């Protein structure tokens, strides 16, 4: 008998020899999801973008943020970051049509992401407020390495694409075929492998800077920004 049949056979033998009924297994699996709130912490009331931003800058995630009105302001925000960090580097821009369309004339644009890249500018597909997570789907316009090779990872995210909970993302994609890679990114690369001390920039980026695009809701931005810094 091959290993596959042996493994399946042993599992079934232990349960009385029969395969389970797929319909009742599916029903049981679905029942486990009937109360999503029992499997997650409640996030604060308010606009997801504000909660997302607060999570990003919390010590747990340790990213920095910039908030701008429209996509056309992205190059300016990138310039602001480079100046603040004293970086005089070329930048590699993810081949996302929305990013490539912007006016990058004052930058030294690199044709692709190299192993020693200093600055990479990418665009996340979704944001998740609950954890301050950026979601990327790999594809021709979104190579995976953009998120892992540069030392400074700058990410553009549209405020309207910020979801509340991890499950909201799962529900959104459940009917489509997944891409080769889905990357959830929650902060810069870090390690606590030497004496439990946190050091950033282990193998991936040392800095994560998130540029949130789109008008925020004044009501939820008002004084609530840092409520959730844990």
Partner 1 sequence: MSLKAIDSFETRVEKALANPTLKIAIERTTSTARMKRAAAVAAWPDFATARDLARQIKDHVIENLDHYLIEFEKNAAASGAKVHWAATADEACKITVAICQAAKAKSVTRSKSMLGEEIGLPHALDEAGITRVETDLAEHIVQLAGDRPSHIIWPALHRTREEVADLFRAHHHRPQNSDDIASMVASARRELRQRFLDADVGISGANFLIADTGSVCVVTNEGNAELTTTLPRIHIVTAGIEKLVPSLQHTMVLLRLLVRSATGADLTQYTTFHCGPKRPGDRDGPEEFHIVLVDNGRTRMLEQGLAEMLRCLRCGACMNHCVVYRQIGGHAYGGTYPGPMGAVLTPVLDGLKETRDLPHACTLNGNCQEVCPVDIPLPTLLRGWREKSWREGLEPQTVRVALGLWAFGARHPFLYRIGTAIAVRVLRRFAQNGWITSLPLTKGWTKYRDFPKPAARTFMEELRRQESREREQGTKP
Looking at residues 99 to 158 of the shown chain, list those that interact with partner 1 (rule: CB under 8 A): 112, 115-116, 130-133, 138-140, 143-145, 147-149
221: phi then psi, degrees, rounded to nearest 5: -75, -20
Query: At its nearest, how many Å lie between partner 1 and the CB of residue 223?
Result: 21
209 contacts: CB under 8 Å, gap ≥ 6: 63, 64, 65, 66, 81, 152, 153, 154, 155
Q: Which is nearer to partner 1, 20 or 215 (CB)?
A: 20
- DSSP codes joined into one string, 70-113: SGGGHHHHHHHHHHHHT----EEE---HHHHTS--TTS-EESS-
Build a one-symbol-per-residue string for 51-90: x at contacts with partner 1 by CB under 8 A, - elsewhere.
----x----x------------------------------
Is the four-CA dihedral 170, 184, 49, 199 of positive or negative sign?
positive
Which residues 163-182 are close enough to bind partner 1 by CB under 8 A? 165-167, 170-171, 173-174, 177-182
Closest by alpha carbon to 139, among 197, 173, 83, 97? 97
Q: Which is nearer to partner 1, 15 or 88 (CB)?
A: 15
Q: Which is nearer to partner 1, 30 or 106 (CB)?
A: 30
**Given 4, 16, 45, 111, the residue binding partner 1 (CB under 8 A):** 4
Build a one-symbol-per-residue string for 188-227: x at contacts with partner 1 by CB under 8 A, - elsewhere.
xxxxxxxxxx-x-xxxxx----------------------
Query: At its nearest, how many Å lie between partner 1 and the CB of residue 148?
Result: 5
Residue 46, phi-psi category: left (phi > 0), alpha (psi -120 to 50), beta (remainder): left
């Amino acid at each position: 008998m091959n290993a596959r049949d042996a493994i399946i056979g042993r599992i079934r033998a232990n349960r009385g020899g029969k395969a389970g009924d797929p319909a009742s297994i599916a029903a049981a699996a679905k029942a486990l999801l009937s109360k999503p709130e029992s499997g997650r912490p409640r996030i604060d009331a308010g606009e997801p973008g504000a909660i997302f931003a607060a999570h990003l800058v919390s010590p747990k995630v340790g990213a920095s943020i910039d908030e701008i009105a429209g996509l056309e302001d992205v190059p300016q925000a990138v310039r602001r970051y480079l100046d603040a960090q004293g970086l005089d580097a070329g930048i590699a821009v993810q081949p996302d049509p929305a990013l490539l369309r912007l006016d990058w004339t004052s930058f030294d644009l690199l044709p692709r992401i190299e192993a020693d890249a200093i600055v990479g500018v990418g665009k996340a597909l979704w944001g998740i407020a609950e954890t301050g997570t950026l979601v990327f789907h790999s594809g021709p316009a979104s190579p995976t390495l953009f998120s892992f090779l540069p030392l400074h990872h700058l990410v553009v995210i549209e405020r309207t694409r910020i979801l509340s909970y991890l499950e909201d993302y799962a529900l959104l994609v459940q009917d489509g075929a997944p891409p080769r890679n889905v990357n959830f990114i929650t902060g810069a690369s870090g390690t606590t492998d030497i004496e439990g001390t946190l050091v950033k920039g282990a193998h991936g980026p040392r800095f994560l800077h998130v540029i949130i695009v789109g008008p925020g809701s004044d009501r939820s931005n008002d004084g609530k920004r840092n409520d959730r810094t844990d």
